[in-house]
Amino acid sequence: MNLSQIDLNLLLVLDTVLTEGSVARAASRLHVTPPAISNALARLREILNDRLVIKSGRGVVPTPRAAALAPLLGRALHDLDRAVHGDTFDPLTITRQFTLAISDAGQLVRVPRLASEFAKAMPQARLRVVGIDTLLLSGGLSGTVVDLAVVGVAEARPGLHAIPLYNERTLLVARRHHSLAGARVARTQLEALRHVDVHVAFGHEFQALTSTYRRLGIERQVALVVPSFIAAAAIVAATDLVATLPESLIHRFGDSFGICSLAPSAPRLTVAMHLAWHERTDNDPPMRTFRDLVVRTMGAARRKRRNLSGGRNSSRST
């Protein structure tokens, strides 16, 4: 038997007959005539090579084959109806997985609160957090692996949307016992510092430091390049190198890392962090709920949306 031979309407008829236990009641429920129901059953009997139902008094009883099919058929048709017509989901019972891409600094500073609120809002769902590298390797937001991303730059790409979440400022940091820690740093000392640079995908604003220093007439000396803020913090704590890192990370974990802010007059950046997603999930109710949750825990309650395919801003909130 080939599934392509089966008309979906025939399965709907069988499900209704089995549920009602009567050809007449099934006909009334489906708004057709009893002969139409009988004809449909006859076609299914031929396809499945089974009598399916047998007359018993004023109703019908299923054969063992039909009795075994009944629960499977009912669930399949119910799931298909939900897929076609949509369904209001219950956040308290949904078991779906939601995936967020965010930098390592964001994972330490922002995700704990998100995890707490996520557990309250969708206790049966699963939150998966990945790094920005995973976002890139999996095809970006247009792929099917990552649902949302917190990024420091919102590049215009077809089908992408974004809203601003928060502004992240930077600090120049050094190890706690650095010779310049707590001192007033002169320009010549600032020029002599050697830096750990952080290259984070979608974080080009953090890489604008060189041009920022140059505007002050200082050529920044980069001694080492790493792919994460945590790696930079660990290296700074163990050397005389310095790094420019997110202020929120230093305020929360600077003491634990053994590093401190340095040279308040050093160039600082303010990076606008965005929540970005793809058009494919834009109108999905569970995903809208997840976006709202991220916005509530990481940013303001209401933000303007940006259409990153080149369109104008929209006042629609997520």
Regarding whether 94 and 39 lie in a shared domain, the answer is no
Computed on alpha carbons and rounded to an integer, the radius of gyration of the chain in Å comes to 30
Regarding whether 125 and 76 lie in a shared domain, the answer is no
Regarding whether 95 and 40 lie in a shared domain, the answer is no
Give the model's pLDDT for residue 316: 37
Query: Which among 85, 103, 125 is the end of a domain?
Result: 85
Regarding whether 233 and 187 lie in a shared domain, the answer is yes
**Dist CA 230 CA 241 (whole Å):** 14
Confidence of residue 175 (pLDDT cuts 50, 70, 90): very high
Regarding whether 275 and 154 lie in a shared domain, the answer is yes
Confidence of residue 155 (pLDDT cuts 50, 70, 90): low
Regarding whether 207 and 117 lie in a shared domain, the answer is yes
Look up the CATH number of the domain holding residue 15. Answer: 1.10.10.10
Produce one character per residue of 28-65: b if its CB has 16 or more CB atoms within 10 Å, e if not: eebebeeeebeebbebbeeebeeebbeeeeeebebbee
Give the model's pLDDT for residue 29: 86
* Segment 24-35, tens digit of pLDDT: 988 988 899 999
**Residues 294, 106 contacting (CB under 8 angstroms):** no
DSSP string covering 56-108, please?
A: ETTEEEE-HHHHHHHHHHHHHHHHHHHHHH-----TTT---EEEEE--HHHHH
Regarding whether 133 and 81 lie in a shared domain, the answer is no
Confidence of residue 211 (pLDDT cuts 50, 70, 90): confident
Regarding whether 162 and 49 lie in a shared domain, the answer is no
Residue 89: how many other CB atoms lie within 10 Å:
15
Regarding whether 60 and 114 lie in a shared domain, the answer is no
Contacts of 273 (CB under 8 A, 6+ apart): 106, 150, 151, 152, 164, 165, 166, 167, 168
- In this predicted model, which residue has the larger pLDDT, 180 or 308? 180
CA atoms within 13 A on the CB side of 170: 25
DSSP SS3 for 32? coil
Regarding whether 69 and 41 lie in a shared domain, the answer is yes
Look up the CATH number of the domain holding residue 109. Answer: 3.40.190.290
Query: Which among 32, 63, 85 is the end of a domain?
Result: 85
Query: Which among 85, 107, 139 is the end of a domain?
Result: 85
Regarding whether 224 and 141 lie in a shared domain, the answer is yes
* Segment 266-313, tens digit of pLDDT: 788 888 899 999 988 888 889 999 999 999 999 853 445 555 444 434
- In this predicted model, which residue has the larger pLDDT, 223 or 318? 223
**Dist CA 168 CA 108 (whole Å):** 14
Number of structural domains found in the chain: 2
Domain range for residue 15?
3-85
Confidence of residue 315 (pLDDT cuts 50, 70, 90): very low
Regarding whether 138 and 63 lie in a shared domain, the answer is no
Q: Phi/psi of residue 11, each to 5°? A: -65, -35
* Segment 65-108, tens digit of pLDDT: 988 988 888 888 877 776 665 556 789 999 999 999 999 999 99
Give the model's pLDDT for residue 9: 84
